[in-house]
Structure 1
Amino acid sequence: MGKLYGVIGHPIGHSMSPAMHNDQFSQLGFDCYYQAFDVEPAQLEKAIEGMRALGIAGFNVTIPHKVDIMKYLDEVNEEAKKIGAVNTVVNDNGRLIGYNTDGKGLVLSLQRLTGTEIQPKSVLIIGAGGAARAIFVTLANIGVARVDIANRTIQKAKQLISVTNTAESHAISMKEAEASLERYDIIINTTSVGMSPNIDDIPLELTNLKRGTILSDIIYNPIETKWLRMGASLGAITQGGVGMLVGQGALAFELWTGEKPDFMRMEEVVINRLGGSKC
């Protein structure tokens, strides 16, 4: 019998991970299978005990378990500790070790989009929730020149910035961000504004956007948000949430297997599942 991998969350039926990973296992000829497990919050500890008992080789963690799972693991790597959440677990000879590939997944997708390193760039993050925290910590850790955070509640943005002192960062209001968009090379929306079914909403006005700015939205339903379409019409380079989704999955796959998966093929699988196209 081959190795078993999986993802835990609640609800979990919408997850793209089984399709992505099972296709890669098949493509690479690995005797492995990836299964989604619907785990209610009250059953999380028992579920982790079950993962241990079954010898599951690794698994992803999604909402609402990314924070609570940390107390049931044998080890959590330093970046995941700083982020305060785990989305990937590796079974290392019976020891469950937690990682967070969300922020690194976005960075990977941005580097593939631009073909260059992003350390010299000036970045604006919209939002100050869990996704913003993962992205901010990763950008700070890799030495990005400037990472500002715009949020409706500035105090929450300040709290997020306080988790690390390795980047030049400022907490700003949404209005201030809209007025000074020209200073940023990369703008990342980490909020749910614009997600289906509220597809006509936008997180930030783009009137002052400079041409060539990279607009990244972590939303992947719809594949291209109204905000991204507006940005493209103003000369921005745009990237939807499929990039981060595939990036974090690709890095998890590599942690489990030691092999780099086919990023483009994983992307195609997700886009096909979403019923869209790259155009």
Structure 2
Amino acid sequence: MRFSLPGTGDVRQVPVFGCECKVCCQARVNVRRRRRPCCALLETPQGDLLIDAGLTDLAERFEQKGLNAILLTHYHVDHVQGLFHLRWGMGEKIPVYGPSDVQGYADLLKHPGILKFMPAAEPFQRFELSGIGVTPIPLQHSKPTYGYLLEYNNSLIAYLTDTVGLPEQTQIFLKQLLKERRIDLLVMDCSYPPQNTTPRNHNDLNMALEIHHSLRPCRTVLTHISHEMDLWLSDHPDSLPDHVQVARDDDDFLF
């Protein structure tokens, strides 16, 4: 199994339009410093599973190899904008799973094209996609939002973005799960550097590390990174504890 992060940025991405901070200036000349919309891709011999669809080149990326299914965390534009071009393609329907949100985004649900929007996934109810066990878990955001537990063979990945902290029912569920097994990889929303007050929609580093210490995964990878977070990290290069790292676009992990 190969798990990768094609995009690790927040809604503004990096570089931010019009910004002259050192992080954004570096990103304009060094492609490795750029951040595209936050998403993930799970590849197995049975098929490929995309989590979120903010990348606008999905039709090009998957035209030759195909795409078995898409999981949406929620319907904010930076997580679904790639679907607007993809939906008018040709060929077999692509199943799309996500939380219940009758508003969705724009006319995606009304005019899905080749996208097949499935009935809303039930929280905490495990189902299978191409041999991958998928369990939706509720997160805290300004729209109905799911994180996902992904199981393949003996590996367990927790993908938790977009969120600010974790709802109580999700904390209880994860603590119960951890009595039986350990999370191999936790991919965690960390949009902001440490703040003096609780952020509104996304974790700052304090909250992300609190979740890391609570869940005690083998490894935590921080994603949904803003240019403010990158700027803070450039000034505090040794600030992260062991087993915690900041993701870069196209980082991948083999299981």
So what's the TM-score if we normalise by structure 1? 0.36
More strand by share: 2
Greater share of helix = 1
- With normalisation by structure 2, the TM-score equals 0.39
Larger Rg: 1
